[in-house]
A and B are shown apart, each in its own frame.
Chain A
Amino acid sequence: MEWAALILGRAMAIAPAKLGELWESRELLTNLVGKELKLRYKSSVLGFLWSLLTPLLMTGVFTVVFAIFLRIPLGEGNFATFFLAGYLVWTFFSNSVNSSVGAIVGNGALVKKVYFPREVLPLSLVLSQAVHFLLALLATSPLFLYYRGFHPELLPAIALGLVLLVGFTAGVSMLFAAVNVSFRDLQELTQVLFLAWFYSTPVIYPLIFLSEGTARYFLPLVLANPLTWYVEFFHQVLYGIPAIQGANPLPTWPDLRTWAVCAVWAAVALTAGYTLFHRRAVSFAKEV
């Protein structure tokens, strides 16, 4: 735990000045997020419709393969909405980190010529992905409303869950962006890493599958994966509790353990990611 205390101490020491600087750069951050959104939607004919179509098409494909061909048993539940709840979380996370990996290297010319807090580069990518997440959630909400019912009392939980997810993702994104400056092939490596990461996250299978048989040996691995907890969080608030037989309980306020683990991972990722990023950031201009 000594290293944890060390990192935390360091983070506390630099945080006030750095956060102040970040606050002063909020307009830059807003403009960069705006730029990301505009660029994405300007160059495609369907524009914002992609936010709707991509998750729906993916849900269609995965539902056919996993619910119809492979018959993943969900009792009286609904595979499409179960998948969608986890998939939205996964897409947000993987898109954020994968675009942030090259955030510093890709903006090398800018980093070498202008001083600004470097963290706005990965943060703007994460925030623009958060906007996509919200749009996709909004676009697919009729499915959730139809199959899983309307639960306005859960809106604060969804909002807070998103805050925790964005915090965790921002931490991981800064970490990857900083490490990629020194080791450029991290970009290649993330592709494989994220494939393995996807399957060790309960997106296409419910976590209860891992409670018996040989699968149970993999349970600790899946539980050690922080993203599992965010996916579980959104399963609980958007889908409910998946069950192999009978009725699947409807959406509910997440249990305390899920809340706690999500909050802890967000804090750890943010602290570690930000500390490492900040320590490396001073020499980015030298290395890109």
Chain B
Amino acid sequence: MGEEPQSPQGPHRSPAILVTDLHEVFRIYKERPPSLKERLYRFRRAEYTEFHALDGVNVRIDQGESVGLIGRNGSGKSTLLKCMARILPADQGRVETSGRVATLLELGAGFQQDLSGRENIYLNGSILGLSRKQIDAAFDAIVDFAGVRDFLDTAIRNYSSGMYVRLGFAIAVHVDPDILLVDEVLSVGDVAFQERSLARMRSFKERGKTVVLVSHDLGAVRSLCDRAIVLDHGRVTFDGEVEQAITFYNRLMRTRGRFTPAVATPANPSGDGRARIGELRFDVPGHDLAEPVPSGAKATLDVEVIAVDDLVGHGSLAVGVALRRPDLPSPVYETRTSWQAQYVAPPPPNASLRVRFDFEFNVLTGTYLVDVLLGNAETDEVHEHRLSALEVVVHGAQYEVGVAPLGVQMSIDNPDGVWPAPADG
């Protein structure tokens, strides 16, 4: 990976993004945030460990290419995108871009709760780099796309979470850059919403713009990108055709196998404690919890979230659950309020809120562990990550093995006759 990489399309096109030997190092402080008092008091620098998020990355992306960045959590793909967007500085090496760059890392970044939809369109548009004229021109399209015409003069705080995300998306897609950098944001919302966002990105691509997409959604990468880069431990481990990249990535996931929580940072596996998970109430109506739960049973999990610090105004909280089986490398199921585009306003310090998860144990016999995660939906901070918060034993059909009850029916066509099974199994 030492030489400057050539794009598969050949070297004759001019590069839109050129990343040369990029290193990015994060300092993880033992106590956050470092304080002036401590510094004067103890007369020493705060202690920290270094984390190499990017370790010598070389990437060349040509104009008109659409490239997917894939990799496991903590592989450095989002960091690379932020470096391309100039949000993060290069600690070593260079990032050069040519043309106007727009970044979609979060829908509705900078929305002001107390301002109206109309005012927020102008404010958010200018944060994303649109001029007043451009917003004027796109205003009706934005309003119709988001479907908020009747609520234009209502404060955003009264918007439903769906409206909030749609408005953020509508503004974001009307930024018309030469290079579009997208991180996961478009994976929120319902299927129709995702379809619309993909269609919009495809039209970007058709107009010869450069698109870089960070996503866990391999389907989106497959349908949008003509090239994919796999990152692992801050290095480019594969760069080329999408299908090959996905095969490579899947192999990587299998070999390195252990389930890694989606947003836990290496320095902070259990969270920063700015908010905490209070009481967890698990219930399977009609069943004694001391007994194994029958496969397909409906269950509820009530999660109490208690704010420790004042997080009001720091963006939405994200509460997530993951169901895993200790013998399997990846989780059986995982979801999060933020993935379902649910806005969870942080409560004031010491106040609490409850999030209820209703689900069905459509899994086969085995012992399952439930992890509960509390974090910030917009930054990657983890407030608390409670691993193995619950242990649930599930009893499924006797002769089926694995995770998912696929309800296989068997019929045997054997001209030589069917032997009956022994009566006692």
Q: Does B137 contact A (CB under 8 A)?
A: no
Minimum CB distance partner of B39 in chain A: A183
The 3 A-B pairs with the shortest beta carbon distances in the complex, nearest first, are: A183-B36, A282-B89, A184-B33
Q: Is the CB of B35 within 8 A of A35?
A: no
Cβ of A107: which chain B residues have Cβ within 8 Å of it? 110
Determine whether the beta carbon of B37 is less than 8 Å from that of A108.
Answer: no
Pick out which of these stretches binds chain B: A38-46, A56-64, A158-166, A237-245. A38-46
Q: How far is the CA of A115 from the CA of B110 in the complex (A)?
A: 12
Instruction: Give B contacts to A, CB under 8 Å.
Output: 26-27, 33-37, 39, 82, 85-89, 101, 103, 105-106, 109-110, 112, 114-115, 119, 122-123, 126-129, 131-132, 313-315, 376, 378-379
CB <8 Å contact, B88 and A286: yes
- In whole angstroms, how far apart are the Cα atoms of A109 and B112 in the complex? 12
CB of A182 within 8 A of CB of B34, answer: yes
Residue from the set A113, A185, A286 with the largest chain B CB neighbour count within 10 Å: A113
The answer to whether B109 touches A35, judged by C-beta atoms less than 8 angstroms apart, is: no
Q: Given A27, A42, A114, A186, which contacts B36 in the complex, CB threshold below 8 Å? A: A186
Q: Is the interface of B mostly helix, strand, loop or mixed?
A: loop
What is the CA–CA distance of A42 and B156 in the complex, to the nearest angstrom?
14
Check A114–B34 contact: CB distance below 8 A: no
B109 touches A38 (CB 8 A): no
Which residues of the other chain, A, contact B132 by a CB distance below 8 angstroms? 27
Other-chain residue from A32, A112, A186 in contact with B87 (beta carbon distance below 8 A): A112
A-side contacts of B379, CB under 8 Å: 108-109, 112
Cβ-defined partner of B86 (8 Å) among A31, A34, A115, A286: A115
For the complex with contacts A113-B87, A115-B87, 9 further pairs of A-B residues with Cβ separation under 8 Å are: A27-B126, A110-B109, A112-B82, A112-B378, A114-B105, A115-B103, A183-B35, A183-B39, A185-B36
Q: Which one, B103, B114, B126, B376, contacts A42 given CB within 8 A?
A: B114
- What mask results when residues 112 to 137 of chain A are scored 1 for a CB within 8 Å of chain B, else 0? 11111000000000000000000000
Of the listed residues B36, B105, B314, B315, the one surrounded by the most CB atoms of chain A closer than 10 A to its CB is B36
In the complex, whether A283 has a CB less than 8 A from a CB of chain B is yes
In the complex, chain B residues whose CB is within 8 Å of the CB of A184 = 33-35
Please report the C-alpha to C-alpha distance between residue A108 and residue B87 in the assembled complex, in whole angstroms: 12
Whether A283 pairs with B89 at a CB distance below 8 angstroms is: yes
**Are B105 and A31 within 8 A (Cβ)?**
no
- Evaluate contact between B114 and A28: CB separation under 8 angstroms: no
24 A-B contacts (beta carbon < 8 Å): A27-B131, A31-B122, A35-B112, A35-B119, A39-B112, A42-B115, A108-B379, A110-B109, A110-B127, A112-B105, A112-B378, A113-B103, A113-B105, A114-B105, A114-B109, A115-B85, A115-B86, A115-B87, A116-B129, A183-B36, A184-B34, A186-B36, A282-B89, A286-B26
**B126 partner, pick from A31, A111, A112, A282, beta carbons under 8 A:** A31
Measured between beta carbons, the chain A residues less than 8 angstroms from B313 are 106
Question: A122 to nearest B CB, angstroms?
Answer: 16
Given contacts A283-B89, A285-B87, contact A116 B127 (CB under 8 A): yes
CB distance from A52 to the nearest CB of B (A): 23
Interface residues of A in 162-206 (CB under 8 A from B): 182-186, 189
Q: Knowing A43-B114, A109-B379, A282-B89 touch, does A114 contact B35 (C-beta < 8 A)?
A: no
A-B contact count (CB 8 A): 86
Bound Cα distance A99, B394 (Å): 55
Look across to chain A and name the residue whose beta carbon is closest to the beta carbon of B105. A113
Q: Which residues of B contact A286 (CB under 8 A)?
A: 26-27, 88-89
> Cα distance A286–B380 when bound, in Å?
12
Expressed in whole angstroms, the minimum distance between the Cβ of A117 and any Cβ of chain B is 10
Does the CB pair A109–B34 fall under 8 Å?
Answer: no
Whether A109 lies near B123 (C-beta < 8 A) is no
Q: What is the CA–CA distance of A81 and B94 in the complex, to the nearest angstrom?
A: 58
CB atoms of A28 and B126 under 8 A apart: yes
Candidate in A112, A115, A183 with the most chain B CB atoms within 10 angstroms:
A115
> Considering the chains assembled together, what is the distance between the CA atoms of A114 and B185 in angstroms?
13
Closest residue of chain B to A110, judged by CB?
A: B110
Partner of B119, one of A38, A115, A116, A189: A38
Which residues between 248 and 288 of chain A lie within 8 Å of chain B, taking CB atoms?
282-283, 285-286
Partner of B123 from A35, A113, A115, A183 at Cβ < 8 Å: A35
Q: What residues of A have a CB within 8 angstroms of the CB of B36 in the complex?
A: 183, 185-186, 189
Within 8 A of B (CB), among A78-118: 106-116
Most buried by B among A34, A43, A114: A114
Contact B115 A113, beta carbon cutoff 8 Å = no
Contact (Cβ within 8 A) B89 A28 = no
Q: Report the separation of the CA atoms of residues A283 and B39 in the bound assembly, to the nearest whole angstrom.
A: 20
